[in-house]
Structure 1
Amino acid sequence: MEQEFAAALLDPDRSAPAGLGARPTRLSIHRNNVVSGLVDHLAAILPAASRIVGEDFFRAAAGVFVRAAPPSSPLMFAYGAGFPMFLEGFPPAKGVAYLADVARLEWAVYDALHAADAAPLDPNALADVPPEGLDSVRFRFHPATRVIVSGYPVVSLFRANRGADPDGPLKLSAEGEGALVTRPEVEVAVHAVSPATAAFFAALQDGAPLGPAAAAGLQADPAFDLAASLSLLLTTGAATALDYFKE
């Protein structure tokens, strides 16, 4: 009975479970309240995405998502990770191509806030690595670190649509922007980076050694600045440790 009731809550086409008696109207009310609560949860996490498309559009899209992908865990704070990918394939949102990436960044900020604590890597740690070991360096990333690779100016859009003046002047780069999300202490920080630096960070976070990760950055842009990217990585608390091959 409980499983049938839970399934019926998020499926408007599902009939009321047997045994509910003359209370189908109450089920409909409860169903609407549950869906509305989940939509409110997504709107609170993704205010920039909501502002970009408008509240009505956002809530309608979120409602479709909630019914298609209801929570699988009682831990509500973890619900919504799949919504950015849903937006990417949601036909009515095709005209706002950057919407899914903005939502990914917003989810990354939210997710970083709830990640485990860890002590950041000493910014001078790389100086202790001998030159012959540099290419083999692998970084262990802070649990809160997130990397967003985008072909759109995602950080600028994120900041503009979370600001107090959404109608103010907005200058967008014609190129993409990556994002490095960190939380070395209490506050989450969003750092705008070049697409090449984002590719470099993404490769490192996927476990690539420094040498191949740098090659990924150079492949994205021959002007990739390895020194500046490493400095950002080491001074923002993005990593917690490093390992390298010792001969």
Structure 2
Amino acid sequence: MDILKSKCLILKKKDLNEADLLTVVFSKDFGKISGVAYGIRKSKKRNLITLNPLNITEITFHRKNGYYTIVETELVRNFGNIMKNIEKLEISLYILDSVNKIYDINYENEDFFNKLEEIFDFINNLESLKKGYKYYIVLTFLRRIMLEQGIYDTDEINRELGVEFSQLYREIAMIHKNNIGNIEKTQEDMEKYCYSLRKIVEIFENYINRNLQVKIEIKKFIVEDL
């Protein structure tokens, strides 16, 4: 039996029986892991809250015959401001779901773990989040996924976007570049691109789904008329 310990981003949890909990995490040192915390839902000594999605928790696992058992947990941080804001929560849950669907068990990437922590820290610390900028954050996340998975090809992306949205994508990128350090101004300038940002997100999604054989869908997390 191996003992593993790592800082983990909680992606998903599911109740098992009356007392157990199945938890899927993206760990810093060992990649994506699915493990069971036996008896945690009825234990007075173990903190169930540490395994809530979006928390970053240090977890000790026992690994035997390819199966993982969660034996100890300690909360490192939770993103409290995200939990208080529906706009922030929508895109955060979408990011968690996308990572869970795209990355295989035991996929190891410490740099990507650090980037995910940075993304959630950024979202958590935003004073406000306008609709257009919400989609821009999703867009940058999807671009990061494509780069990580080795499927980002500028020519192919431009063909997917077409002439109109390729131009709009460049305009949106220039807004960010011209307003570096001024998030409030960036958000204001991007509001007029709300519809275009959502359409570009959907195009990126379709490209990722086709190339990686997955099904991520922003519409399941953000339901609104633009």
| Shared fold (TM-score, shorter chain, > 0.5) | no
User: Which one has a larger percent strand, Structure 1 or Structure 2?
Assistant: 2
TM-score w.r.t. the length of structure 2 is 0.31
Which protein shows a greater Rg?
Answer: 1
